[in-house]
Structure 1
Amino acid sequence: MRVSIKRENKFVDYELEAEDITLLALLNKIKLEIDNTLSFSSGCRSSVCGSCSMRVNEREVLACSYKIAQGDRIEPLKNVEVIRDLVVNMDKSYETNARAKTWLHAFNAEVKLDHSDEKINELQSDCILCGSCYSACPVYAVNGEFLGPFALTRVWKYVSDKRESEPQETIETIQTNGVWDCTLCNECTLVCPQNISSKADIEKLRAKSSQYGYMDPSFGSFSGGFDGSPQF
């Protein structure tokens, strides 16, 4: 088995005996048997903690669940600081949760949830903060202030909660570098190991924003009709 791993801005080839194993198992084998300087992150080994997220052949995966193949090219996540080899610093991405105020602001304890209420944002609660969506996001790649996929998914989780009596406060925080900046390319959904569609959540947040009188700011400079003619 031959694979290439990106280290210090260049790919290093490794060849070893391995068959039908996960990427994480392969990385451990390389570290133990070939090169003990190789650095990578891992935790639960059960696709729950998200710490082993990285890219294979330019696509985000969890190393503990991805089955390695001949010629795979492995590299760290994009759009984050690389600490060493496949280890990255996710602090800046995690900070978006605080900037987006992803929590209940006016919790109404008297409101009770039934099973249908729980289903509304059940999937959003499965986010493991692996950062794959930020790595795949073309907007975050060019705008580091963009709140990004998992922060906006968490916003939807809380503003759709019936116990939140003042959702507008949170909706206001996502109007700049938030819901209107997303291109709806769906790349975040395609790489999410939990099958969460941040694109769908952002679309729902746009609808929610409209209910409170917010709109895409780019419409403000639009002065023509759909055929380009001026409107009076």
Structure 2
Amino acid sequence: MVRGEESQAYNVELENVTLLSMLHHVKTKMDPTLTYSHGCRSGVCGSCAVRVNGREQLMCEYKPSDGDVIEPIRNARVIRDLVVDTSSIAYFNSCANAWSEGSREGCVSEEEASRIETQTDCILCGSCYSACPVYAVNPEFIGPFALTRVWRYVNDVREERSDGKMAAVQTNGIWDCTLCGACVPVCPQGIAPMQDIRMLRTKSAMLGYPDPTMNFGGGFDLGGWDF
């Protein structure tokens, strides 16, 4: 079953195929109006992310079962069927300066390269963005995918400009994350954005940025003593 704005059931007798192949069969043999996104068919481009039974998946990797419910990813405007507006990905990356702004030439040790290897594998599929509950209360949240990319660059010894990135993620960024971990199991690349956000918080504290979730104002009345 594919669900965009309305529900539609399809009975397809295909075995051991990916969800993308099954939807292609539906589109070419049963319903030419069915609309979905795909690109590389190899789990690299990230364009075919959807929700299956309430969990984010890549259509080119997922093997469907009877009764599966397929929906577009959340927190994005649905254009049609399973296609959503992904401009928010570029917008939040821009808010976070989540790219290289100048790097030094030179050799990088194996240990230094390993620090950013996992985060470099982000394919911007939007799965963590879809799973994140913060957008229900703060639609301007920079998001786990952009924050994990920020950690990739501020942790790169070749990067010459990281101060601006750290400043950019203080508002609607690392402190707005609830650290619920919903982004971790849905990442097809095995990235743990929650852990990267924790590390960005630690680095922020080392740079002198205050934690806005801590209440340092006011005082305490303990037996007549004012603090």
1:61 to 57, 60, 65: 57
Which residue in the other structure is 1:183 paired with? 178
1:211 is matched with: 206
Out of 4, 9, 14, the residue aligned to residue 7 of structure 1 is: 4
- Pair 29,183 (structure 1): closer, same or farther in 2 beyond 3 Å: same
Deviation at 1:231, TM superposition (A): 6.6
Name the CA shift for 1:71/1:113 in 2 (closer, same or farther; >3 Å).
Answer: same
The reply to whether residue 126 of structure 1 matches residue 116 of structure 2 is: no
Distance change (3 Å), C-alpha of 1:143 and 1:16 = same
What is the DSSP-based 3-state SS (H/G/I as helix, E as strand, rest coil) of the residue aligned with 2:25?
A: helix
Distance 1:124 1:11, change over 3 A: same
Output the aligned Cα RMSD. 2.0
Match of 1:150 among 145, 148, 152: 145
Structure 2: gaps spanning 5 or more residues: none
Q: Secondary structure at the match of 1:39?
A: coil
Number of the residue aligned with 1:135: 130
Q: Distance in 1 between matches of 2:22 and 2:146?
A: 32
The one-letter code of the counterpart of 2:100 is L
Select between 190-199 and 212-221 the one with higher mean Cα deviation: 212-221
**TM-score normalized by the length of structure 1:** 0.91
- Per-residue deviation, 1:106: 5.0
In the alignment of these two chains, the number of paired residues is 225
Q: How does 1:67-106 map to 2 (within 5 A)?
A: 67-106=63-102
Alpha-carbon offset, residue 221 of structure 1 = 5.4
Task: Give 1:105 deviation, angstroms.
Answer: 3.5
d(CA) in 2 for partners of 1:107, 1:18: 50
Of 96, 106, 113 in structure 1, the residue corresponding to residue 108 of structure 2 is 113
1:138 to 1:168, Cα distance in 2 relative to 1, 3 A: same
Could you tell me how far 1:222 is from its partner in structure 2?
A: 5.9
Q: Secondary structure at the match of 1:60?
A: strand
Please give the per-residue CA displacement for 1:78-103, whole angstroms capped at 9, x wherever unaligned: 00011100011100122111110113
How far does the alpha carbon of each residue in 1:44-90 deviate from its partner, in whole angstroms, 9 at most, with x for none?
A: 11101111100000100000110000000011000001110001110
Of stretches 13-22 and 25-34 in structure 1, the one that deviates more from structure 2 is: 13-22
**TM, length-normalised to structure 2:** 0.93
The equivalent residue for 2:154 is: 159
Distance of 2:22 and 2:176 partners within structure 1: 39
Residues 223 and 40 of structure 1: CA distance in aligned 2, closer, same or farther (over 3 Å): same
Amino acid at match of 1:91: S
Cα pair distance change 1:222/1:17, threshold 3 Å: farther
Name the counterpart of 1:200: 195
2:4–2:72 CA contact under 8 A, matched in 1? no
Q: CA deviation digits over 1:124-155, x for unaligned, max 9? A: 11011100010000012331211001100110
